[in-house]
Copies of this chain bind each other. A is one copy, B any other.
Amino acid sequence: MLYLFMISLLFLGSSNCMRIVDLTHEQSISTIFWPGNPQYNFTILFRNFSGSYWYESNSFSTAEHGGTHVDSPAHFYKGGWRTQQIPMEKLVGRGAIINVKQKASTNPDYRVSVADLIDYEDTYGRIPSGAVVIMNSGWSDKYPDPNAVFNTTNPSDPNTFHFPAWHEDAASWLINKRNINIIGVDTPSTDYGQSKTFPVHILLGKHNKIGVENVGFLDQIPESGSTVFVAVVKLRDGSGGPARVFAMVDEGKDQCTSGSNCQFYSASLLIAIILFVLTQKY
């Protein structure tokens, strides 16, 4: 029985069964931008039958920093990586989702603190090098209503904004003590609504770290146990850009339903059983 226990343990640890979760708000005419940016525009070039077949084609224009998007280091730091210069491996990492929904619900100016990060590590273990650390303030549900997202009656005036984000001490701790890849928010800025000096943006740029803003649907992934991908459009000379953000979530075998990963798991289990039976002869 020890054989079987050992094999089971190994497979439990190395199970490759994954669930994929989209964390991206749509790009559309409702896309939320910081005031002063040009609005999103979508143009239908063709949408009809073209001879014997249907044909659709469109174009669009957008500012880089709208909706679910990346802040490249160049955004707030001269000489920081522009979008196409960010190495692909810096756009991926283990997900650490910092839940401050309770705190943000009573204080919309809340900033995630070092204490929040230490609390997180007490529960889930050390935030690994290269992690993607995202605040979950519950703000995703408000998107794309500008009054709700900026939490103001005047979404064209940043002085009136009240939404949570990161404290610079926590951002600095993640960069210097944990060497994370990416800091994210489910709000429009990694600096909170009332910020005038944008210290988190500057820190990120200075250390060639990536920001990601307006991340959606964080309640659909666990606070630990995912890999997060921040697949930004590869804009030449961009200071950011729209991104497809998604997570691969490690699932226990009980959650396996379908797909090649699950087939891989089943095949592996079969091999383990065969090996177990064979080894009983010795």
Contacts and interface: CB of A to CB of B under 8 A. Distances in A.
Number of copies of this protein chain within its complex? 2
A37 B56 contact: no
B263 A128 contact: yes
A20 interface: yes
Contacts of A242: 233-234
Contact of A63 (B21, B54, B59, B239): B59
A233 B42 CA distance: 13
Given A38-B59, A231-B246, A244-B234, A54 B76 contact: yes
Given A27-B233, A53-B76, A231-B229, A22 B61 contact: no
Interface stretch (A10-18, A107-115, A155-163): A10-18
Contacts of A38: 45, 59
A260 interface: yes
Interface string A119-149: 0000000001111000000000000000000
Interface in A11-55: 11, 13-14, 16, 20-22, 24-29, 37-38, 41-42, 45, 47, 49, 52-55
A205 B54 contact: yes
Interface in A154-184: none
A65 to B, nearest CB: 6
Interface string A205-241: 1000000000000000000000001011111111110
A13 B82 CA distance: 38
Contacts of A205: 54
A250 to B, nearest CB: 10
17 contacts: A9-B275, A10-B275, A14-B268, A20-B92, A26-B236, A28-B236, A37-B57, A41-B61, A42-B236, A59-B63, A60-B235, A68-B234, A128-B260, A128-B263, A131-B260, A229-B231, A233-B244
